[in-house]
Amino acid sequence: MSTSSTSPTPRPVNLLHKVGLIEQPWSPRVVAQMNDYQFKVVRIEGEFIWHSHPETDEAFIVLEGTLRIDLPQGPVYVAPGELYVVPRGVQHRTAAEGEAKLMMIEPEGVLNTGQEGGERTALNDVWI
């Protein structure tokens, strides 16, 4: 899907509908782009890995469930309708007991595992 169209889309993006189409947890999917920033939805369950993004902040908006973001000073719990921004360079680990559905906002090209890489790195720039 092209990200640089100047044509308006015919309808809004329904975030819960889009996140419901994702088959696997921990597989972010792009639903919209604004300038060089992407809006991604993801389902998570269990714990991710500790990582950081030296080049960018990373925003999380919870749609369903409770997101736990482990930070060096301890966990932050983010409920539906709440937003949390992890500053650039700060180590973090996302987690959820049961399932949580999130939207993330970050620049195009940011990998989910940041500096760490490894087997849990998801394909980037996949639209749904």
Binding residues for Ni ion, per CB under 5 A? 58
Distance CA 99, CA 110 (A): 23
Q: Select 58 or 64, whichever has its Cβ closest to Ni ion.
A: 58
Q: Select 22 or 111, whichever has its Cβ closest to Ni ion.
A: 111
Alpha helices, H only, 1-128:
15-20
- Least distance in angstroms from the C-beta of 73 to Ni ion: 16
Residue 22 in tokens? 């994702």
- Least distance in angstroms from the C-beta of 117 to Ni ion: 13
- Least distance in angstroms from the C-beta of 78 to Ni ion: 13
- Least distance in angstroms from the C-beta of 12 to Ni ion: 27
Q: Select 14 or 70, whichever has its Cβ closest to Ni ion.
A: 70
Helices (H) and strands (E) in the chain, counts: 1, 7
Distance CA 35, CA 108 (A): 9
Q: Select 64 or 106, whichever has its Cβ closest to Ni ion.
A: 106
Q: Which residue has 């597989």 as its token pair?
A: 27
Contacts of 87 (CB under 8 A, 6+ apart): 57
Residue whose beta carbon is closest to Ni ion: 58
